Structures are given as structure tokens and as C-alpha cells.
Amino acid sequence: MREPGEVVAAAFPRPGRALKAILVAIAFFAIAGAVVVNWAPGPPAGLELFRWVVFQPQGFLKNPWMFWTLLTSGIFTNPESFSHALWSLVGLYFLSTDLEKKWGGARMLRFLGISVIMGNLMVLAVHLVLPSRLGIFHPPLVLGPMAAITATAMAWAKENATRQIRLFFFLPISGKSLYWITIGFSVLALLFMQGTPEGAVAPFGGILAGILFGGTPSPARSTWLRLKLAVMRRQGHTLTVESITGSDRPRAPKRSSKGGPPLRVVQGGLEDDLKNRKPPKDKRYLN
């Protein structure tokens, strides 16, 4: 038991290799982006270089071949704001660490990438629908991992519905409460016209990604397995766990070696040989 007044040190979670790589990349490109945009000779040239890696809703309609910006924009932060880079690192660090332990690095990387892409597509869709007078929904540049952070909060809440976390480092809430608080904060930010470098509606793309791809198994994977099961039933296949997951694949038959002698049955043996042998006339040597 703890003594009265004893202070219990809370250890920070240790990220895995995948999350470490993401955090290092965001920190590196935050510094590099600030240098290129703010300190490089000829600021317009530096800004033009920066435009090749961030998402531009208006420019994307004219140049859809720059599809990589849907993903690369998630690892860049506002070059004119140090706090944007700092809070991006903090937001990804705390909850993504636990997801990486449960999911593994590969699934977590796919999840974060899909979240960023869905956030940018949400910004693009709203940009096409709403009138241009609502400037907050028509950002010239979109960059930052806010959609991934929102999706991480949703996914962590689904994986840990009864587990507690300290909101703002002091307010204990359950995972189920975090699920609805994340949605509520996104709605409030939109109502108050709170603009972010990622776009005002990017968090809703992250919410959708968390709903579809969060959980074990995720709703998206469950739907895919049900569709695969229905197709196999219609085709009349024998259903096994291996056939549904794809590990039951037909194996090629073994081929007999060419040029080998044919198999044959040899009759007889030692007993038959002794029966057919005639006894010798001189029996002195039988003993």
C-alpha cells in the first residue's frame, strides 16, 4: 500500500518504430518548411517549393495528377506557427502509442494515411459545394495531421470503451465519453468558424475514418469479410476459415521424377527360397 502523501510517477508511453518515424518526420519537415518558406532567399520561390507537397483544393481540380499531396500534406505543418507543429506531435503521441501496441505498426500507418486522405477529400468536397463567400471552407493550402489525430481519438475510444484517460492531463473520462467528446469538439469548432491549417471540415474526415476503420475488427473489414462470404456461398465453395481469409490456396500436384525405373513387385523371399531348396545327400555338415 502507498504511504500517505506518496507521489506516484506516471511514465510516458513509449512509441514503437512506426510512430517514432512519423514523429521524427513531422518534426523534421516542420523545421525544414519554416526554413524554406521564411528564410530561404526569395520567399516566393520557397513557397512555390512548399506547394508541391501540401494539398491545394483549388489547384487539385486543375492538376489532379498531384495526387500524392492528399497524403504528404499530413506530415507538414504551418511554417509560420511553432504551436501547430508542437500540438500535432503531442496529439499523435499519446493515443497512437497504445494503438500501435494493439494493432502493430503496419496497420497503424495505413490507418493514419487513410485518415489524412479522407480529411483532405472532405475539404475538397465542401470546397466544391459551398459558395465562395464562406472563405473558411475554401483554404488555399491544406496541411497538418488534424484528421489523423481525430481519427486516432475515435479509434482509441472504440478499442478502450471502459478505460479511463485524463482529458487535458487532469480530467478523467472513459473511452466511451472520449468518443462523443471528440465529435462534439469538432462540431463546436465548425459552429464557431474556427479555422485550422488542415481545413475546417478535415476533422470530420478523421471521424469518418475512425468509425469505419477503428475497432477490432473494424466495420470496414467486417463488411468486406461478409461480402466475400456471400460470394463464396453463391459460387458453392466449401467454407472454411482458411478459405475466407485467403490462406487456403490449391497446391500444385507433385510430379514424378522423369527417367526413373518403373515400380514393380518382386515375388518370393527367404522362406520361399528355403522351401524350394533340396536337402543335400551328405548330411554331415547340417549341424
pLDDT per residue as tens digits for the range 202-258 = 999 999 999 999 988 899 999 999 998 888 888 875 556 566 566 555 555 555 555
Residue 26 lies in a domain: yes
User: Per-residue confidence at 266, pLDDT binned at 50, 70, 90?
Assistant: low
Closest CA to 120 of 181, 59, 79: 59
**112 within a domain of the structure (yes/no):** yes
Q: Tell me how far apart the alpha carbons of residues 172 and 174 are, in angstroms, rounded to a whole number.
A: 7
Domain membership of residue 97 as a residue range: 17-222
On whether residue 68 sits in a domain, the answer given is yes
Q: 277 lies in a domain?
A: no
In a domain, 98, yes or no: yes
Average pLDDT over residues 16-43: 87
Instruction: State the CATH number of the domain containing residue 173.
Output: 1.20.1540.10
Question: Is 11 part of a structural domain of the chain?
Answer: no
- How many domains is the chain partitioned into structurally? 1
Q: Are 90 and 152 in contact (CB under 8 A)?
A: no
Q: Does the reported pTM lie above 0.85?
A: no
Residue 264, in any domain of the structure:
no
Q: Tell me if 104 is assigned to some domain.
A: yes
